[in-house]
């Protein structure tokens, strides 16, 4: 009964907003869009997400409209706790996601910035394992021979990742069109093996090369939404972009064009119904944000793969933590690990993490800071916290640095984090607040003095200059950086948090 009711809902979407033209001048097709998916399984104890559920939805739509295509707009190989573990001495690094996506029959994917978190050899392995096409118009592989396209290497063939991809779409009436895609990725994760070409220049160049070869040119991008908007300002001939990078769903109009992004971790997917008139050359798009939740049936073949990987995870975590499911702390309220919160407001989970960072240095620091983007669980943690939960929150791990920093630079860092509300650069804080009267930053209850040197516990990622470009050890405002020694609490932020939470029970 559950599947019949669900199928009725999906079928209503297949025809939702579509007035079929009885002539042979109109063709209608479907795009299923995902972006920023880090977990293959469901979240919140099965309440949200799950790639097995997405597979069921796609298959249901495709049965009614064979011209249904599924896309991933970047960020899926990393990060996840599962991706950090090793099997047979080799880190998984997204292998689980490729296996799941192969079983789901994706039609086109692009690179997100987090694909390049992987080491060069690991990314190459994931490319080789994939059975779906990749696309990028501005990212190349830096090699000794120069900048060349990334390749998918099979036993009998080597396939370059193309700048464009074209779908030849034909309906039962015989109406046939070509839909072309271009793709660009923002250069936020610089790596020695990756070359990023200018996203706007190359998008425009690719569009001009492609537009006369197809009926429509669309975008599959991994940019910040303001960059998607800028791209459409430069290329208004693109009617539609399926994008990634932001983790919250949005449908943004720019002129006569549309930008769509779904919620991260497949909490929602977008189902786009696209109609094109070969007579008027007009494209109409009806977009429906579809929730993936506990009412959504599952595709058994994909669920089986997810189950296999989850069993591997449980076994491997037990090699690191004797009892990963041991409750180490009971909070008064569930801890908010959702992306939308931790990238926008101070959360109770952010409080716990930064308190633990200060604790790791015996609370002999003035403040503690971590970027909200380091929190990857995108879920509400139950009040009863386990060691496994901590590893899921911070799959990257990393060290806690004790930094002597000038007050002038500290204010600049805090201002920058505040200006990036809604992104991963937003800062979760300990012992830092804002004066309600004048908006000045306070350490404790005292205004920050520009000439004073403060001791601040930072997550090591923040000192790499990725989220806050000017925050590096070379900045003159950074007086000194202490990196913890092996065995000290700050050597692994996850273990520091576990020790801190356990200490609260003593």
C-alpha 396/C-alpha 47 separation (Å) is 25
Q: What is the pLDDT of residue 87?
A: 86
Instruction: Tell me, yes or no, whether 196 and 106 share the same domain.
Output: yes
Nearest by Cα to 185 from 36, 65, 316:
36
Question: Phi and psi dihedrals of 70, rounded to 5?
Answer: -115, 135
* Longest CA span, the chain: 76
How does pLDDT run across 426-483, given as a tens digit for each residue? 999 999 999 999 999 999 999 999 999 999 999 999 999 989 999 999 999 999 999 9
Place 45 in a pLDDT band, splitting at 50, 70 and 90. Answer: confident
Decide: helix, strand or coil at residue 218: strand
The tokens for 33 are 């869009």
In a domain, 296, yes or no: yes
Detail the DSSP E strand segments found in 380-465. Answer: 380-381, 384-386, 400-406, 427-430, 432-434, 441-443, 446-447, 453-459
Average pLDDT score over the chain = 93
Of 304, 335, 369, the last residue of a domain is 304
Instruction: Tell me, yes or no, whether 358 and 391 share the same domain.
Output: yes
Peptide bond preceding 489: is omega within 30 degrees of 0, i.e. cis?
no
In a domain, 411, yes or no: yes
Nearest by Cα to 247 from 355, 130, 139, 342:
342
In a domain, 53, yes or no: no
Instruction: Tell me, yes or no, whether 264 and 347 share the same domain.
Output: no
Q: Which residues contact 183 (CB under 8 A, 6 or more apart)?
A: 110, 111, 135, 136, 137, 138, 219, 220, 221, 222
CA distances from 437 to 31, 301, 421, 433, 440 (A): 50, 58, 21, 12, 8
Instruction: Tell me, yes or no, whether 287 and 355 share the same domain.
Output: no
| Helix locations, 321-451, DSSP H | 339-342, 348-359, 387-393, 407-419
C-alpha 191/C-alpha 117 separation (Å) is 8
Residue with tokens 């001009």: 208
The tokens for 402 are 């004790």
How does pLDDT run across 328-340, given as a tens digit for each residue? 999 999 999 998 8
In a domain, 438, yes or no: yes
Tell me the CATH number at 326: 3.90.780.10
Q: What is the pLDDT of residue 14?
A: 57
Instruction: Tell me, yes or no, whether 240 and 361 share the same domain.
Output: no
In a domain, 366, yes or no: yes
In a domain, 155, yes or no: yes
Instruction: Tell me, yes or no, whether 284 and 347 share the same domain.
Output: no
Instruction: Give the global pTM.
Output: 0.81
Q: Are strands 164-170 and 176-182 parallel, antiparallel or unpaired?
A: antiparallel
Among 216-225, 255-264, 317-326, the range scoring the smallest mean pLDDT is: 317-326
Place 396 in a pLDDT band, splitting at 50, 70 and 90. Answer: confident
Nearest by Cα to 466 from 64, 132, 188:
188
Instruction: Tell me, yes or no, whether 348 and 391 share the same domain.
Output: yes
Burial class (CB in 10 A: 0-12, 13-18, 19+), 223: buried
21 vs 247, higher pLDDT: 247
Q: What is the pLDDT of residue 21?
A: 46
Q: Are strands 158-160 and 151-153 parallel, antiparallel or unpaired?
A: antiparallel
Q: Which residues contact 56 (CB under 8 A, 6 or more apart)?
A: 296, 297, 298, 299
Of 277, 304, 331, the last residue of a domain is 304
Residue with tokens 């309906």: 171
Tell me the CATH number at 224: 3.60.21.10
Neighbours of 144 (CB within 10 A): 4
CB 353 within 8 A of CB 315: no
Place 382 in a pLDDT band, splitting at 50, 70 and 90. Answer: confident
Instruction: Tell me, yes or no, whether 12 and 101 share the same domain.
Output: yes
In a domain, 360, yes or no: yes
CB 243 within 8 A of CB 287: no
User: Three-state SS string across 152-182, please?
Assistant: EECCCCEEECECEEEEEEECCCCCEEEEEEE
174 vs 139, higher pLDDT: 139
Instruction: Tell me, yes or no, whether 345 and 289 share the same domain.
Output: no
**Could you tell me the sign of the dihedral formed by the alpha carbons of 102, 104, 110, 114, in that order?**
negative
In a domain, 57, yes or no: no
- Strand-pairing partners, residue 172, are none
Instruction: Tell me, yes or no, whether 161 and 278 share the same domain.
Output: yes
Percent of the chain topping pLDDT 70 = 95
The tokens for 417 are 């984090």
Instruction: Tell me, yes or no, whether 285 and 357 share the same domain.
Output: no
CA distances from 367 to 110, 130, 356, 458 (A): 39, 45, 11, 9
- Strand-pairing partners, residue 221, are 243
Instruction: Tell me, yes or no, whether 121 and 17 share the same domain.
Output: yes
Give the number of domains in the chain: 2
Q: What is the pLDDT of residue 23?
A: 53
State the residue range of the domain holding 293. Answer: 2-46+69-304
Count of residues making up the chain: 506
């Amino acid at each position: 009964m559950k599947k019949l009711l669900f199928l009725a809902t999906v079928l209503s979407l297949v025809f939702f907003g579509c007035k079929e033209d009885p002539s042979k001048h109109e063709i209608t097709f479907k795009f299923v869009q995902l972006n920023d998916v880090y977990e293959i399984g469901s979240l919140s104890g099965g309440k949200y997400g799950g790639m097995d559920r997405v597979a069921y939805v796609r298959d249901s739509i495709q049965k009614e409209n064979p011209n249904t295509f599924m896309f991933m707009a970047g960020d899926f190989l990393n990060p996840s706790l599962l991706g950090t573990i090793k099997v047979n001495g080799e880190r998984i690094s997204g292998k689980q996601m490729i296996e799941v996506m192969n079983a789901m029959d994706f039609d086109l994917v692009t690179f997100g910035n987090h694909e390049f978190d992987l080491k060069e050899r690991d990314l190459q392995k994931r490319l080789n394992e994939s059975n779906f096409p990749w696309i990028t118009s501005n990212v190349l592989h830096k090699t000794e021979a120069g900048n060349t396209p990334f390749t998918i290497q099979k036993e009998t063939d080597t396939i370059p990742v193309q700048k464009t991809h074209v779908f030849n779409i034909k309906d039962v009436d015989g109406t046939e069109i070509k839909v072309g895609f271009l793709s660009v990725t923002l250069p936020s994760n610089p790596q020695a093996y990756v070359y990023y070409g200018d996203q706007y220049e190359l998008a425009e160049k690719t569009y001009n090369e492609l537009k006369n070869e197809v009926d429509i040119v669309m975008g599959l991008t991994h940019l910040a939404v303001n960059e998607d908007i800028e791209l459409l300002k430069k290329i208004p001939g693109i009617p539609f972009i399926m994008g990634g990078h932001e983790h919250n769903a949005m449908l943004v109009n720019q002129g006569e064009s549309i930008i769509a992004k779904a919620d991260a971790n497949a909490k929602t997917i977008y189902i786009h119904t696209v109609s094109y008139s070969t007579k008027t050359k007009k494209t109409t798009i009806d977009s429906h944000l579809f929730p993936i939740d506990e009412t959504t049936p599952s595709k058994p073949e994909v669920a089986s793969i997810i189950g296999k990987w989850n069993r591997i995870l449980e076994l491997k975590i037990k090699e690191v933590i004797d009892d990963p499911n041991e409750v180490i702390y009971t909070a008064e309220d569930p801890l908010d690990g959702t992306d939308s919160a931790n990238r926008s407001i101070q959360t109770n989970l952010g409080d716990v993490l930064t308190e633990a960072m200060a604790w790791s240095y015996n609370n002999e620091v003035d403040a503690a800071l971590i970027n909200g983007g380091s929190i990857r669980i995108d879920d509400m943690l139950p009040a009863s916290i386990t060691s496994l939960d901590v590893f899921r929150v911070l799959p990257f791990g990393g060290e806690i640095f004790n930094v002597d920093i000038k007050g002038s630079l500290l204010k600049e860092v805090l201002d920058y984090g505040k200006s990036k509300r809604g992104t991963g650069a937003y800062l979760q804080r300990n012992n830092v607040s804002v004066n309600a009267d004048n908006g000045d930053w306070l350490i404790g209850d005292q205004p920050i003095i520009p000439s004073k040197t403060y001791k601040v516990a930072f997550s090591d990622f923040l000192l790499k200059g990725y989220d806050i470009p000017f925050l590096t050890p070379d900045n003159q405002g950074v007086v000194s950086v202490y990196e913890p020694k092996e065995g000290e609490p700050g050597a692994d932020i996850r273990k520091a948090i576990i020790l801190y939470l356990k200490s609260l029970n003593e």
